[in-house]
Structure 1
């Protein structure tokens, strides 16, 4: 079962277009959600907004890093993936916060949200690096 999952992800990682498509869909959903004056209510958890920002941007960092680096030969070191995720989160997070200032009912320019965005994106990119490294170590690249 584990080998099947590794093999599936290994094949999926080889399709850069898939990760670019995921990143594009991620961005469209982000823009759509940021354009809404109100978001659906959910359970009230302390710092829920920051957790949501962190988790959502970890997905964006994950997809962006795989789109950029999954084909790199030799593989880029983990710190490059992490730093790329951080930069992605910084730029897209700042643009998102700025965009929210024009949305009625939203505040925008929240430094805490922006910090959650960049740390989430960096974490997502780093997880992508770990996962790809693990998969490539386990799945033979040239089955003969």
Structure 2
């Protein structure tokens, strides 16, 4: 780390998207839904995901690398599964930022492209959370 970069902890809700939309799969083809399932059921830990990279612009923090991960982290924060995550704060670089910045709403939300099972991703993530909650409330005596 150098060049003004620093590691910090931030709430996912404090970070905005730079993209207007994200694919429902990671670049390697892994569905976001699958990663969310593994995170919720604690098969993988949040800190095993690559750190998202953020830059400050107009007083707001924007993710410049990790929009899909940020989407999942925001869902986990909604369900009180994470409160803060480790991020790499980078100094503002207009070239990097402008290549990433496609949002029409200053990064307050993002649309999901693609998906599996014909069900919107947001709905599937809610179903996974509900299934997890139900499995946690079932006790075997």
TM-score normalised to structure 1 length: 0.32
- Higher-Rg structure is 1
Higher relative contact order (CA 8 A, sep 6+): 2
TM-score normalised to structure 2 length: 0.32
Structure showing the higher strand proportion among its residues: 2
